[in-house]
């Protein structure tokens, strides 16, 4: 892999002309008949096999069209160690296919425990990913081991800042000295973000998660963090438009840039992909990719 996560990511999105990140969220009930097995119960070993086959087949159609994929750890963990084994194979296959991998695991813990979670950013890990999502509630000292691993191994970290769900208002929008908590979180990342800027593009590998459902907040966040990559979920199924999703992007050499926009359900589970016919499924997935690529390409043009 190249040396600097943000440089690699931005180089590839420039090449492709769009910031689409394919979310790999294998919701069990949505997996199409083509890939389903008898029970689909989480504890049934055949379920992990079905999930792996489905995600690898989707990846095979997606990989050439996106800079990055974002597997959601929860859906694999639900299946026990066999699910984690499937996740490892998906991650390995995605990287072999030339995609960067952001593991969406929203980890966070203290001291040596955080360091253990940061292991997946380390060259010695059994499962290596290019970036990881993390939760800031425990404080800045708990983010340090992730930053350290990212710095040492050229990887990336995305800190949850303003999430896409309605309930994000409960804590993230609470005012502290007149400023919402999420903006305090962002402010606390600025110095380290500046230190993790890439030599080629100037973008930082210390990113944030900022939901497409709150576009107004993106401008505030961009001002606070001028060089930080935004990982933007909530585009598509959750209701954020393509224009909303790239609100925090800025002018670059090949259109607006500054992060990636994640779509999962719309890509993996288009309605016409709920079939047991391989060719029908392939056409449905290809069309879903084309729609998202086109829409996001226009939004950054």
Which residues have a catalytic role annotated?
Answer: 106
* Nearest distance from C-beta of residue 21 to a copy of itself, angstroms: 16
Spatial CA neighbour of 131 closest among 140, 122, 139: 122
Q: Where are the alpha helices (DSSP H) in the chain?
A: 5-16, 45-62, 73-77, 81-96, 111-117, 140-153, 169-172, 181-195, 215-224, 242-245, 265-268, 278-300
- Evaluate the CA torsion angle 163, 84, 75, 60 in order and state its sign: positive
Q: Is 114 in the site for a copy of itself (CB under 8 A)?
A: yes
Measured from the CB atom, the residue of 69 and 299 that comes closer to a copy of itself is 69
Instruction: Give the total of residues touching a copy of itself (CB under 8 A).
Output: 63
Q: What is the DSSP letter of 127?
A: S
Beta bridge partners of 204: 197, 228
Among 149, 181, 232, 268, binds a copy of itself (CB under 8 A): 181
Interacting positions 53-112 with a copy of itself (CB under 8 A): 72, 74-75, 77-85, 87-88, 106-112
* Nearest distance from C-beta of residue 162 to a copy of itself, angstroms: 10
Q: Is 117 in the site for a copy of itself (CB under 8 A)?
A: yes
Q: Do the beta carbons of residue 280 and residue 272 sit within 8 Å?
A: yes
* Nearest distance from C-beta of residue 74 to a copy of itself, angstroms: 4
Integer Cα distance of 188 and 194 in angstroms: 12
Among 14, 56, 95, 165, binds a copy of itself (CB under 8 A): 165
Question: What size, in residues, is the chain?
Answer: 301
* Nearest distance from C-beta of residue 250 to a copy of itself, angstroms: 27
The residues binding a copy of itself (CB under 8 A) are: 25, 27, 41-43, 72, 74-75, 77-85, 87-88, 106-114, 116-117, 119-120, 122, 124-127, 135-142, 160, 163-172, 174-176, 181, 184-185, 188
């Amino acid at each position: 892999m190249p040396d600097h996560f943000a440089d690699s990511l931005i180089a590839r999105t420039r090449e492709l002309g769009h910031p689409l990140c394919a979310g790999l969220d294998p919701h069990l009930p949505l997996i199409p008949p083509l890939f389903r097995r008898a029970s689909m119960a989480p504890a049934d070993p055949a379920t992990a096999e079905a999930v792996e086959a489905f995600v690898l087949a989707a990846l095979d159609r997606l990989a050439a069209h996106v800079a990055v994929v974002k597997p959601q750890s929860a859906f694999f963990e639900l299946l026990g160690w066999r699910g984690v084994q499937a996740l490892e194979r998906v991650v390995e296959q995605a990287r072999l296919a030339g995609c960067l991998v952001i593991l969406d695991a929203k980890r966070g813990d203290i001291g040596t425990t955080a360091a253990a979670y940061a292991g997946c950013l380390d060259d010695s890990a059994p499962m290596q990913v290019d970036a990881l999502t993390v939760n800031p509630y425990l404080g800045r000292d708990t983010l340090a081991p992730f930053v350290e691993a990212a710095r040492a191994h050229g990887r990336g970290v995305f800190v949850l800042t303003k999430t896409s769900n309605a309930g994000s208002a409960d804590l993230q929008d609470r005012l502290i000295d007149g400023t919402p908590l999420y903006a305090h979180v962002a402010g606390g990342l600025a110095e380290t973000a500046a230190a993790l800027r890439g030599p080629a593009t100037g973008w930082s590998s210390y990113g944030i998660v900022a939901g497409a459902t709150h576009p107004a907040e993106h401008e505030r966040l961009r001002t606070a963090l001028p060089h930080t990559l935004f990982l933007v979920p909530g585009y598509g199924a959750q209701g954020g438009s393509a224009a909303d999703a790239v609100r925090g992007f800025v002018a670059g050499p090949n259109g607006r840039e500054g992060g990636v926009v994640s779509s999962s359900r719309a890509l993996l589970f288009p309605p016409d992909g709920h079939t047991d016919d391989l060719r029908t499924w392939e056409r449905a997935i290809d069309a879903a990719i084309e729609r998202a690529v086109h829409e996001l390409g226009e939004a950054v043009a």
